[in-house]
Amino acid sequence: MKFETYPFEKLNELLSDVTATSEYELSSLTIGEPQFETPQFIQDELKNSSELLKKYPASAGIPQLKDAMRNFVSKRFNVSLQNEQIIPTFGTREVLFNFPQFALFDKKNPVMAYTNPFYQIYEGAAIASRAEVIHINLTKENSFKATLSDEELKRCDLVILNYPNNPTSANMSIDELVIWVKKALEFDFILINDECYSEIYFDNNNKPVSLLEASIKAGNENFKNILVMNSISKRSSAPGLRSGFIAGDSTILKEYMKYRTYVGCASPVPLQKAATIAWNDEEHVESFRKIYKKNFEIAKEILGINPPQATFYIWLEVEDELEFTKELYKKKHIKVLPGSFLGREGNAKGYVRIALVENENKTREVLKRLKDFINE
């Protein structure tokens, strides 16, 4: 297997011969990792559960964790899941990588489609699955909304969407997702939505919807061919807990659960205990949302950028993203991620991704630096 170099390694290589100014401290706006302390009540539960390290964790997860995840889906999306319709996972990265290998194993000439630009684990999964790839190109012209022709969809065995979207911050309405559900049923392919940014939203009257909601609206109440993935990493500022889930079609998940017993990716019990109380609590999530909302208000004030519906990314259009990245680092000691490192076939050229994951003061200072650079 030959995997593409990861975006952050490409960035290091790009900047290896560039000497940054010493006038400013380094500000890295590259990685989607919240720069806030994990709430104390979550840390305390982890510490208090440490004696459970003596136990092997079950692949299916502890019942309390699964219940907490089901409660989250019920309260957030008004979708009631049965136990067999959800599986706790070790974050979403591992399941995004190994689920396609499971799902496509018996396909003679598997075809996998996913949004482009993308989270690179999708591409890695396609390579590991020996799948032909169809890129779902997200462009300014289509408002970064996912579309494929019926001819392309007929060939697909597995499609991965990602809404709210990384890196473009675009989102899709329930009616737009309903169309995708109907196509998954019509052409009999597995449809996944990676929903790990669903909880970083800024308007309680305009929350991102789940593909599960769209499936029900489409009349597909058993979620045939439909799966979603979500994670606690962004929601609770706890990426180290590695707590996620896959939910939807119970027929698919029954066989996938057998597969997972061999993978050996069960989360340690203390992490599951801490994740349980995090999934059950909403107050701490709201406090993080307020921080991200304020950051986008600052971005609008300084850069004139309209806040997205969700995520903490700015998808900034520039003339030459590689030159922009090098010069910004050189003159202002700011790191951003070139869009071309996140896409293929030239689709993400002319953009940089900026992650607003710091506190208000740091965000204001670095965005002023960025504005000064743009105006030079």
Q: At 15, is the pLDDT very low, low, confident or very high (cuts 50, 70, 90)?
A: very high
Q: Does this chain's domain 7-37+284-375 share its CATH topology with 54-281?
A: no
Q: Are strands 111-116 and 132-137 parallel, antiparallel or unpaired?
A: parallel
3-state helix, strand, coil in the chain (%, to 5): 45, 15, 40
**What percentage of residues in the chain have a pLDDT greater than 70?**
100
Please name the helix (run of DSSP H) or strand (run of DSSP E) that holds residue 244, with its range, or none: strand 243-248
- Residues 200-215 have a mean pLDDT of 97
Q: How confident is the model at residue 227 (pLDDT cuts 50, 70, 90)?
A: very high
Report percent pLDDT > 90 for the chain.
97
Residue 13's pLDDT is 97
Per CATH, the number for 7-37+284-375 is: 3.90.1150.10
Is the model's pLDDT at 251 over the cut of 90?
yes
Query: What own/partner pairs with CB < 8 Å and gap ≥ 24 does 317-322 have?
Result: 317/140, 317/350, 317/351, 318/350, 318/351, 318/352, 319/350, 320/350, 321/349, 321/350, 321/351, 321/352, 322/14
**What would the pLDDT profile of 279-322 be if each residue is shown by its tens digit?**
999 999 999 999 999 999 999 999 999 999 999 999 999 999 99
SS3 182: helix
54-281 has which CATH code? 3.40.640.10
Mean pLDDT of 110-121: 97
Domain boundaries, the chain: 7-37+284-375, 54-281
pTM: 0.96
